[in-house]
Amino acid sequence: MKKIRIKHTDLEVSNLVMGCMRIGELSEKELEELTETYLSEGVNFFDHADIYGGGACETAFGKLLKKKPELRGQIYLQSKCGIRQGFYDFSRDYILESVDGILKRLNTEYLDVLLLHRPDALMEPEEVAEAFDRLEQSGKVRYFGVSNQNPMQMELLQHTVRQKLIVDQLQMSIVHTPAIDSGMAVNMAIPQGVCREGSIMEYSRLKGITLQAWSPFQKGMFEGVFLNDREKYGKLNEKIEELAEKYGVTNTAIAVAWLTRHPADMQVILGTTKPSRVREAARGSELPLTRQEWYGLYQAAGNMIP
């Protein structure tokens, strides 16, 4: 398992992440087995959010930590807050209240990373700054970041917030590549050339921000996976299978490797609750796709290479 250092921190983390959005569906035994599988493959980073399962996912993981308290010193915990029923809320009081709830459910005294979950159009950076200061000074949160934000949204926040924003979590997969597309078609009057995300890929590399790719196998907003979808992505799956055979891995590993091959040193968030899929995905952590192979997959997904 490849490890990367998140810039501006002392966190040496796996480039694959256990995404905990669906673990509330598991029994205690199943969750323990799944977590042990991730750990055995070298994953040491776990991603939560207060809205996952309405808090049930954090509660389930907290029960595991209570049963096995030694795990807390072996892993990094990240959670997110800011999404409420029908709106977003980055107000000082709500952030502070949310973190207290997260810590209680996770049965831990601190988070390694807290992310603001999706942009709040009514955000007042001064309130966020005050909340971050209180959380850092109290020892409840070590580091901070955001989710689904563009560069100017982060600049607005960073102008006031004292702490470095170290992470931006974005949807990304071979078939969802807005962060790459416009850079591939600069100055071209075609849909692919439209910059929809503010050059977040380049911005993150310049600023030392680690991108975390969520839904690495999804073809849309939870519309199902593109792997083995031969009706819509026949050419891509054919190419993936060729590479899987070449490298002696599964198609899951190739989908992961396409992301981990990028020099931005992204983390890939796996949402699977199946230990077998975890093991398959882990084979893509350090799989060295060539430039020709990487671009070939990008093109097979329906993108143009000018």
Catalytic residues: 52
Q: Helix, strand or coil for residue 185? A: coil
Instruction: Report yes or no: 273 and 30 within 8 Å, Cβ to Cβ.
Output: yes
The token duo for 3 is: 């490890």
Structural Rg of the chain based on CA atoms:
19
Q: Helix, strand or coil for residue 17? A: strand
**Helix H or strand E segment including 105:** helix 92-106
For Cα atoms 50, 203, 191, give the angle at the middle one, nearest 5 degrees. 95
In this structure, the strands spanning 87-88 and 83-84 are: antiparallel
> If phi over 0 gives left and psi between -120 and 50 gives alpha, with beta otherwise, what is residue 5?
beta
Amino acid sitting at position 83: I
